[in-house]
Amino acid sequence: MTRIAVLSDVHGNAIALDAVRRQIKAAKPDAILIAGDHVLNGPEPAAAVDGIRELESAGSMVVQGNTDVAVADFDYTAAFPWLTEGVPDSFRAAAEWAHEQLGDERVDWLRRLPAERRLQLEEMLVLVTHASPGSQTQGFDQALDASVVFERAARTDARVIACGHTHVPEVRDLGFKVIVNDGSAGYAFDGDPTASWALVEIDGEEVTAEIRRTAFDALTVATAISERGLAGDVYRAATVRTGKLVR
């Protein structure tokens, strides 16, 4: 049996990442997959990157998310293609602040991350991507039409698709594929103000996955965001505090 931990969407929340790392270490997985959106919005982007890079140095697979593109290169059209009427100033302010906090070396690391990684387990292929196969921005939203879900899942030969992006954890068994959306390890939208991640177990052809929740000091993180004083921080702080997207 192979056990795989999946996390994503830390969004600069180093306190949540540290708590998740402790629980993952206790679970003793064989592999760790980290599915992007590492730095934007939270109060500690540099510490978050450092923590993720420690995991990477120990063998974790790390990919880039859409907001990582915004922070690294300020390419807002690529990062937020659905914002057809323009990117809000609050998005730009947060991206520019995170870019400055990271410094050149961390930004270069963020910029060089691949969009996808693959883990081959004998006859089974596992894909880690931020949103969906072939896309950093087209996610597996819960309200998505089933035909679109199947079309996006069919873009890869992988049996297991590990992803994030929606900030709402979910495991979908499509029969021919299993989509493991771990949610968010730092900026949840499902009404639970804890960090979410996933533990996948693969035994031969059998795939099972479980969403796990990790408590962290959300009030401390929300206070740090509020005290930063960027445009939109009052909403970001409320999102961390409540586990619901506030805007």
pLDDT-based confidence at residue 56 (cuts at 50, 70, 90): very high
- Predicted confidence at residue 41, as pLDDT, reads 98
pLDDT tens sequence across 221-232: 999 999 999 999
pLDDT at 122 over 90: no
Mean pLDDT of 70-97: 96
How far is it, in rounded angstroms, from Cα 140 to Cα 124?
22
Task: Name the residue ranges covered by the structural domains of the chain.
Answer: 2-242
pLDDT at 8: 98
- With left for phi above 0 and alpha for psi between -120 and 50, is residue 69 left, alpha or beta? alpha
pLDDT digit string, tens, across residues 32-52: 999 999 999 999 999 999 999
CA distance 109 to 33: 17
Q: How many C-beta atoms lie closer than 10 Å to residue 129's C-beta? A: 30
What pLDDT is attached to residue 34?
98
pLDDT in tens, 200-218: 999 999 999 999 999 999 9
Give mean pLDDT, residues 108-118.
98
When pLDDT is cut at 50, 70 and 90, the band that residue 123 belongs to is confident
Q: What is the pLDDT of residue 28?
A: 97
Residues 126-178: pLDDT tens digits? 999 999 999 999 999 999 999 999 999 999 999 999 999 999 999 999 999 99
Sign of CA dihedral 213, 189, 139, 16: negative
CATH number of 2-242: 3.60.21.10
Rounded CA separation 129/116 (Å) = 5
**Using CA atoms, how far apart are residues 120 and 202, in angstroms rounded to an integer?**
12
pTM of the predicted structure, to 2 decimals: 0.96
Q: At residue 99, does pLDDT exceed 90?
A: yes
Q: Is the pLDDT of residue 63 over 90?
A: yes
The side-by-side arrangement of strands in the sheet containing 160-163 is 116-121, 124-129, 160-163, 178-181, 170-173
Is the pLDDT at 118 greater than 90? The verdict is yes
Q: The dihedral of CA 173, 207, 183, 192: what is its sign? A: positive
